[in-house]
Structure 1
Amino acid sequence: MQAYASIDERITRFSHLDQAVRIISRIQGCLTKGSQRKPAQSRQDAINALVKSAQSENFSVDIQKLKGAKCVAMQSSISKLDPFLDQKGFLRVGGRLQSSELQSFGERHPLLLPKKSHLTNLIIDYFHRKAAHQGAEKTLALLCTHGYWIPNGRSAVSSRIRGCVTCKRIRGQPCNPQMATLPSVRVNEAPPFTHCGLDCFGPFLVKDGRKEQKRYGLIVTCMASRAVHIELLEDTSTDSFINAIRTVTAIRGPIQSIQCDQGTNFTGASKDLQGNLLTRMNITMKFNPPHSSNMGGVWERQVCSDDLPLSPNMLLTMKSDVVLPPPSDFSDTDFYSRKRWRAVQ
């Protein structure tokens, strides 16, 4: 059986203050079987025993000098705290609040805890959980409120909280994943719209006489040059998609490969044209896995940027800017002006 030199070494087996207090309380209960103690009193007695053991082990020289009615040495780490021994033999912080009635005795003269002690770490963890992991300042404030003082306490609390797993999980920065290698169609030269990615967007409400009908858009982007072509779809059926692809190839030239998601109109077109049009046009269709829109970021990003309403002027000029009016006001006398640009206007 392993032998322990002190209680502070014995409680190194425990990772929670409540566990250590419960064990010490049971030991004290076995030693004093005849006494009837309440649970709150037995818990406080166990904490006092732990604190006194930690103080005796870490501040033994200072306690001996204070018992001899002397002050602690100036070289001591607690000399500036004006320490004293109370009636029960606990080492407490002095100060100038002896006559104050606004605080309890434990708040005016908190118990001194050694900075490097397992009991101190357990107490810091206990109040840190009680503070709902709000940080070092809140934990340190709770320690002082409950009558504990740690020399250079802010440093001790911060270093202990730095290893808190819950705080790391809450406040940790997300990891940046290693980006995969770009596909060959993205990094090699090719004529525009040789390798394309496409997707549908919409619907848009349009007027057809007195009726309102839904119309959709097919956005086709070149994988190499990132050029964009937009086609109008009557609906999201396979037939509308096939007609749009025929229009794109007639305007932009032959397409070698198409990458898209597994929409029903895309998969239906692939099945309908598998041995007919796709073979003659030499088009290869590649589908992303289901629920993997991140794999189509090339065209999904273009869909997000296409938030302006389409107009005939945009389709003709392929620009979203409106043609500006002449840069000035002109009169009839400008016909006889020597500045030809005014006469041209």
Structure 2
Amino acid sequence: MTINDIRSNGVWILGCSSEVSSLIYKCIKCRKLRKSNQEQRMADLPPERMEATPPFTYSGMDCFGPFYVKEGRRESKKYRLLFTCMCSRAVHLEVLDDLSTDAFLNALRCFIAIRGNVSQLHSDQGTNFIGARREFLELDQECVKELGCTFVMNPPVSSHMGGVWERPIQTVRSVLMSILDQSAARLDSSFLRTFMYEVMAIVNSRPLTSEHISDRVGPEPLTANHILTMKPSIIAPPPGEFVREDLYLQKRWKRVQVLANEFWTRWRKEYLLSLQQRCKWNKSRRNTR
């Protein structure tokens, strides 16, 4: 349009196109209005992601749910508390009856009893997490220092800063919600807890890298269970043949195995295949200075 306007006024400039492009490129206002969004290079990982520590020494956590289960004749809500190791990317799931501080502290004690002491707990500013931090401040600080459990919280309304735990929650929930929406009414609290531990074992057997996942003769992909259980074999699907009709049997343990088997099948088809694709940050671009 600029070149056409110049020529329509009877002016002919040699090399007009390059001169106009150079002028527009040097114009600050034009660059601000026309420039595409800058894509910054990914930042370096924080030290707790790089340090070689025992599993769950540095952990991120968050709650998700609710899930509806049958207790007698009434339907009740249950929530899940997910812990993920910042270094090994292992996952631990606990059951919450509600989102109170007391329920969270009980689940935290169960987590520490199974996985050992934790140095740092990273989370958002949920009310139950803030309440737990206040409870810890009221205790003997020498005992708290021995136990660890230093709370590191993101700023308010900053869920994008919690990708370390938000991503595993999205991965688990994408399969879990569709299964429990159809069958949760046939499970009570104890059987839901068993199902969650089955899910936890399956998630921890996911490959942490995809470099040799398609190589027939390559090394076996590293998983979180290699670190947690020190066993090279991944967690196998539930033993035996379980069909959809087993959900209606009186043997409720079979109902759990049917759901675990269904989770394993969908996990393998929907998640593991996606590891071979690299969706973003494929190219090196100039950084904004």
Which of the numbers 35, 39, 58 marks the counterpart of 1:171? 35
User: Is the contact between residue 258 and residue 283 of structure 1 (CA under 8 Å) also seen in structure 2?
Assistant: no
Report how far residue 220 of structure 1 moved. 0.3
Q: Give the secondary structure class of the aligned counterpart of 2:118.
A: coil
Answer with 238-247 or 147-156: which moved more: 147-156
Report how far residue 198 of structure 1 moved. 1.0
Report how far residue 205 of structure 1 moved. 3.8
Report how far residue 175 of structure 1 moved. 5.7
Rate the CA distance shift 1:245–1:226 in 2: closer, same or farther, 3 A.
same
User: Is the contact between residue 55 and residue 85 of structure 2 (CA under 8 Å) also seen in structure 1?
Assistant: yes
Larger relative contact order (CA 8 Å, sep ≥ 6): 2
Report how far residue 139 of structure 1 moved. 2.9
Q: Rg: which structure is higher?
A: 1
Structure 2: distance between partners of 1:202 and 1:187: 30
User: Is the contact between residue 238 and residue 269 of structure 1 (CA under 8 Å) also seen in structure 2?
Assistant: yes
Query: What is the aligned partner in structure 1 of residue 79 from structure 2?
Result: 216
User: Is the contact between residue 288 and residue 296 of structure 1 (CA under 8 Å) also seen in structure 2?
Assistant: no
Count how many residue pairs are aligned between Structure 1 and Structure 2: 188
Structure 2: distance between partners of 1:313 and 1:225: 23
How big is each residue's C-alpha offset from its partner over 1:224-260, in whole Å with a ceiling of 9 and x where there is no partner?
2111111121211101101111221222223233222
Query: What is the aligned partner in structure 2 of residue 315 from structure 1?
Result: 197
Q: Give the secondary structure class of the aligned counterpart of 1:319.
A: helix
Structure 2 alignment gaps of length 5 or more: 181-193, 204-235, 242-289
Structure 2: distance between partners of 1:305 and 1:179: 23
Pairing of 1:133-148 with structure 2 (within 5 A): 138-145=1-8, 148=11
Asked if 1:254 is matched to 2:117, the reply is: yes
TM-score by length of 1: 0.46
Which of the numbers 302, 305, 311 marks the counterpart of 2:168? 302
Paired amino acid for 2:25: R
User: Is the contact between residue 238 and residue 265 of structure 1 (CA under 8 Å) also seen in structure 2?
Assistant: yes
Asked if 1:191 is matched to 2:54, the reply is: yes
Q: Give the secondary structure class of the aligned counterpart of 1:214.
A: strand
Rate the CA distance shift 1:141–1:305 in 2: closer, same or farther, 3 A.
farther
Structure 2: distance between partners of 1:225 and 1:265: 26
Rate the CA distance shift 1:188–1:150 in 2: closer, same or farther, 3 A.
same
Structure 1 alignment gaps of length 5 or more: 1-137, 327-345
- CA RMSD across the alignment: 3.4
Report how far residue 281 of structure 1 moved. 6.4
Paired amino acid for 1:171: K
User: Is the contact between residue 237 and residue 265 of structure 1 (CA under 8 Å) also seen in structure 2?
Assistant: yes
Pairing of 1:1-345 with structure 2 (within 5 A): 138-145=1-8, 148-169=11-32, 170-174=34-38, 176=40, 179=43, 182-183=46-47, 185-209=48-72, 211-274=74-137, 275=139, 279=144, 282-291=147-156, 292-306=158-172, 307-309=174-176, 312-313=194-195, 315-316=197-198, 318-319=201-202
Structure 1: distance between partners of 2:128 and 2:202: 29
User: Is the contact between residue 204 and residue 216 of structure 1 (CA under 8 Å) also seen in structure 2?
Assistant: yes
How big is each residue's C-alpha offset from its partner over 1:312-345, in whole Å with a ceiling of 9 and x where there is no partner?
556226216966988xxxxxxxxxxxxxxxxxxx
Greater than 6 Å deviation, 4+ residue runs: none
Report how far residue 145 of structure 1 moved. 5.0
Report how far residue 203 of structure 1 moved. 2.8
Answer with 308-317 or 247-256: which moved more: 308-317
User: Is the contact between residue 288 and residue 295 of structure 1 (CA under 8 Å) also seen in structure 2?
Assistant: no
Query: What is the aligned partner in structure 2 of residue 12 from structure 1?
Result: none
Rate the CA distance shift 1:212–1:160 in 2: closer, same or farther, 3 A.
farther
Paired amino acid for 2:150: M
